[in-house]
Structure formats: C-alpha cells, structure tokens
Amino acid sequence: MQTITPFLWFDSQAEQAAEFYVSVFPDSEILSVARYGEAGPGPAGSVMVVDFKLRGQEFNALNGGPIYVLSPAVSFVVDCQTQDEVDHYWDSLLAGGGKPVQCGWLVDKFGLSWQIVPRRLNELMASSDPEVAKRVTEAMLKMIKLDIAELEAAAAG
C-alpha cells in the first residue's frame, strides 16, 4: 500500500492533465474524480481533485486556482530501459506545447517537469573508472534529449 502520494496543484486543468498522463504511460488509470459542492471554493460541479495512477504510482491533482504554480523544484524521473522508451516518453510529454530543457529534462504543456533518463546513464556514471564517468557526464551535459548510443560512445572514449 502506497503511503506517500504526490499532490499536484493546477489552476483549472487537473482533469485534463491526469487524462494526458494516463494516455502517455501504460498500466495507468483515473481512479476517481471529486467535484466541488455548493460550499466551494470552486464552482459547484467543477472538478476539485482527480486521483490517478501511473505505472503503479498514485497521484492527486487539484484544481486549486492560480495561487500556486508548478516549478522545476519538483520533477518526476521516468526510468527508461531503451532508447525507444526514452523517445516515446520524450515525444509524448512534449506533445501539445511542452518545452525541452536539457540533460533529459522537459516541461510538459501543464508546467510539470520531467526527467526522461535511460537507466544506462546511471550505470555509466557509476563506473569505477573516473575518466569514464567524466566523459559520460560531459556528454550528458551537452544533450537535450538523452541518447544512449552517444553516452556509450563517450564512455568508450
């Protein structure tokens, strides 16, 4: 049973964001939608909180108004096994107005920050040879979307 759940604050796009994320990740679903009642503070009947699950991880998304905004101070790392996975998540999360950043980071169209990271990067950076780790780090710092073949080429020297 999950005991800590990320809670995301949106202005008014919680349901759209949850539906978007569920469409990107396999084995994902909307769990429930709670609506504001007559007591508010949102308009009666409008979406208040959406509970959803992405690849086994539960999330809550709130329509809380414009008081707070998402920032890169909190991001979600997507662990990828293959370059095809990296490409899928990168392209899907950028769709509709997202922005690439660097080093595998992007901001989706709702303002949520993601890191699309091949597991191979961590393996190469953990090399017992400090020169390999240095070359891999230098290569990664020049990338926008991470490329496993380029990282491995940097590791090989």
pLDDT digits over 81-121, tens only? 999 999 999 999 999 999 999 999 999 999 999 999 999 99
Q: What is the CATH number of the domain that holds 45?
A: 3.30.720.100
Q: Are residues 44 and 75 in the same domain?
A: no
Q: Which domain holds residue 54?
A: 1-68
CA nearest to 55, candidates 16, 24, 14, 92 = 24
Q: Are residues 76 and 139 in the same domain?
A: yes
pLDDT digits over 2-60, tens only? 899 999 999 999 999 999 999 999 999 999 999 999 998 999 999 999 999 999 999 99
pTM recorded for the entire structure: 0.95
CA-to-CA distance for 19 and 95, rounded, in angstroms?
Answer: 14
